[in-house]
Amino acid sequence: MGDVGSEVHEERPRLDGSITEQRFASFVDKQRRRSSEAAKTLLPLLSVSHEVFRGRSAGSATRMRAYAMAAFHDSGLPNDALPYVVEVLETSFRPNLVAAAARAIKGGAAPDARLADYLVRAIYNIWQNDQPVSFEAYDVTWPLTSFSTALSEVLEAVAWLGPAAHHVVPDLEVLLSTYSARFSPETRAVIARCIESLRSYAATTPRTCCGSAPLIEPGIVTTEHDLNLSSIEVEDQDGGKFEWGYFFHGKPSVVAFFYATCMNPRKCVQTIYNLVEIHRGLLDAGLDGQIRVAAISYDPHRDTAAVLRQYGESKGVPFGADFKMMRVPSQLNSVVDAFDLGVNYGGNQVNDHRIELYLLDSKGRIAHRFLRLQADPGSVVAELARLANVPRNKHMACHSGGGQ
């Protein structure tokens, strides 16, 4: 009894930027053995904005987060962790993080067909940067005596899904037939074994539908929440300075966050392209002049007005009175807190961030959130039409015959 009690009341380390990576890893190792308790202690560590990653380099933050995510393979993967896993598979190009997400899937209670599609997309994210990985210990020594690779972890997760992943066999066959030269002989063999394993289920298993509900739902905000940002000064791509309320009050608006030096094409670059597409959809829906569009930088120190102008022009941003790129020169922390943004910094450099796009009503309050995965432009336009009180029939007429 004494041993059990001492473990339960063991003092936890302070999980913030002051903890060493080694002590963090020791904490994770202890939690992964506790199964039922691991979810509540490890789950918060999956968030890129957790204070434990604050002040660290991007490499250190990623390595720590990957180690925590991989621990769910042993402790069991709760449903609340799935959005983080899906986010990594969809958007990350870091082999250790992708491997950790794939490994975590095998800690799930039951296979989920929807995960197979994300795993296949992850292959295309990392196939040119596959690396040896090991989660046996945080500080591994070389040469590794036991290791896998990110691609192997992804393919093993696909195979683990079994009948639920049968629908991705054609995608795996394309990898071998069209892109075979991109893979090593060992990886080709792993892909072939995965295909063979999934095919074996075809004759005995009912067909699994993969088109069910998404694993990450956009969030409708049901409670009114004033951001209290009206007097915050912002600067646009032309150097014009004005208060937050000047732009974000009076009309509904869509606001996304990004920074110009982001190296992940699935995140910031695609976010800006999507804003351009959303603006085009607004014009097609007859909402010109009724909705404002804004992209706000996570990195106001580097993203000066001139940088914003050049970056936006390179992505085809149609700058105008209702479409701006902005930075918050001196009070970005207030914006981060008001939106509860998923971003973290090493010094004044972004070390990681999630995808995030928000719809604000005409009073500047958050009405809808699209987080972690890129928002479908058509869905965003539909929600903006609702905020602008455009009759449904008129909106549908504007979009008849068009796809999303």
36-93 pLDDT, tens per residue? 677 789 999 999 999 999 999 999 999 999 999 999 999 999 999 999 999 999 999 9
Q: Give the alpha-carbon dihedral of 200, 202, 206, 210, to 10 degrees.
A: 100
Q: Does residue 261 register a pLDDT over 60? A: yes
Query: Is residue 205, in this structure, part of any structural domain at all?
Result: no
**Is residue 214 in a domain?**
no
- What pLDDT, on a 0 to 100 scale, did the predictor assign at position 93? 96
Give every CB contact of residue 382 below 8 A, 6+ residues apart in sequence: 395
Q: 393 and 248 share a domain?
A: yes
Residue 3 lies in a domain: no
334 and 246 fall within a common domain: yes
DSSP annotation of 108 reads B
Residue pair 362/249 in contact (Cβ under 8 Å)? The answer is yes
% of the chain exceeding 70 in pLDDT: 89
- Same domain membership, residue 383 and residue 266: yes
Percent of the chain at pLDDT exceeding 90:
79
Q: Provide mean pLDDT across the span 94-109.
A: 96
Q: Lowest-confidence range among 208-222, 241-255, 264-278?
A: 208-222
Which of the four pLDDT bands, split at 50, 70 and 90, describes residue 202?
A: low
CATH of the domain at 142: 1.25.10
Task: Give me the pLDDT at residue 212, please.
Answer: 53
CATH of the domain at 389: 3.40.30.10
Tokens of residue 128, six digits = 């040119």
Q: pLDDT value at position 395?
A: 45
Q: Cis (ω within 30 of 0) for the bond into 143?
A: yes
Phi, psi of 179, deg, nearest 5: -115, 20
Is the CB of residue 167 less than 8 Å from the CB of residue 208?
yes
pLDDT at 116: 96
Domain-embedded: residue 319: yes
Could you tell me if 158 and 280 lie in one domain? no
Q: Looking at 170, 199, 228, which one is the last position of a domain? A: 199
Region 182-189: mean pLDDT is: 92
Closest-CA residue to 257 (of 219, 229, 296)? 296
Predicted confidence (pLDDT) per residue in 144-160, tens digit: 677 789 999 999 999 99
Looking at the structure, do residues 110 and 257 belong to the same domain, yes or no? no
- 98 burial via Cβ count (<10 Å: 0-12, 13-18, 19+): buried
Cα 339 → chain centroid: 16
Task: Indicate if the pLDDT at residue 100 is higher than 60.
Answer: yes
Residue range(s) defining the domain that contains residue 231: 219-399
Same domain for 190 and 223?
no
> Does 299 lie in the same domain as 244?
yes
Residue-wise pLDDT for 359-386, tens only, equals: 999 999 999 999 999 999 999 999 999 9
**pLDDT of 331 above 80:** yes
Verify that 24 and 70 share a domain, yes or no. Answer: yes
**pLDDT value at position 226?**
81
How far apart CA 118 and CA 85 sit, in angstroms, is 9
Domains in the chain, number: 2
pLDDT band at 356 (very low <50, low <70, confident <90, very high): very high
Q: What is the pLDDT of residue 402?
A: 38
Whether 210 is covered by a domain: the verdict is no
Q: CA–CA separation, 332 vs 300, rounded Å?
A: 8
Residues 6 or more apart from 82 whose CB is under 8 A from it? Answer: 112, 115, 215
- Does one domain contain both 41 and 190? yes
Residue 1 counted as domain residue: no
Q: Please determine, for residue 111, whether its predicted confidence score (pLDDT) is greater than 50.
A: yes
Domain match, 19 and 110 both: yes
In this prediction, residue 136 has a pLDDT band, given cuts at 50, 70 and 90, of confident
Residue 2 lies in a domain: no
Q: Is 106 found in the same domain as 248?
A: no
Q: Which of 199, 228, 253 is the last residue of a domain?
A: 199
d(CA 267, CA 343): 12
Q: Is residue 208 included in any domain, yes or no? A: no
Q: Is the pLDDT of residue 352 over 60?
A: yes
Do 184 and 261 sit in the same domain of this protein? no
Question: In sequence order, what are the residues at sequence separation of 6 or more whose Cβ sits closer than 8 angstroms to the Cβ of residue 146?
Answer: 134, 136
Tell me, what's the pLDDT at 2? 40
